[in-house]
Amino acid sequence: MMEQTTLAQRIAKILYDKKALDITVLHVAHLTVITDYMVIASGRSALQVKALADDVDDALAMEGVQLRAKEGTGEGRWIVLDYGTVLVHIFHPEDRQFYHLERLWEDGQNRVPLPFLEEKAPDEQA
């Protein structure tokens, strides 16, 4: 089994490679018993939200990472993928703004660095 932080960063990289928007990884083990990490990202449309969820699921399945549960695939507005120690939230932009999970789970010190984002020049980041 992949180490938790590595798994969360791997999921973020899959989302990044598939053009997800505004990817955030939070370490939340000290805030909740539900999970240790949350990966939060947005798709541009319901169709892309569904495709991003499928891409993450397919890539991790090929790497032997078992998906425990998947919710929200019907409408594609907010899909949650449960990998036990990592919960993945993929939102339609309007729903992400409405629910604003970062406000609930970010404590100012628990954002996980994403090396692939830091490689980009500051003017290239969206």
Residue 123 lies in a domain: no
123 pLDDT exceeds 80? Answer: no
List pLDDT tens digits, range 3-21: 889 999 999 999 999 999 9
Distance between CA 14 and CA 118 in Å, rounded? 16
Distance between CA 7 and CA 123 in Å, rounded? 28
In sequence order, which residues have a C-beta less than 8 Å from that of residue 46 and are 6 or more positions away?
75, 76, 77, 92
Residue 122 lies in a domain: no
- Give me the CATH number covering residue 51: 3.30.460.10
**Range(s) of the domain holding residue 79:** 4-115
Identity at 61, one-letter amino acid code: A
Question: If we measure between CA atoms, which residue out of 75, 2, 81 comes closest to residue 40?
Answer: 81
Number of domains in the chain: 1
pTM listed for this prediction: 0.90
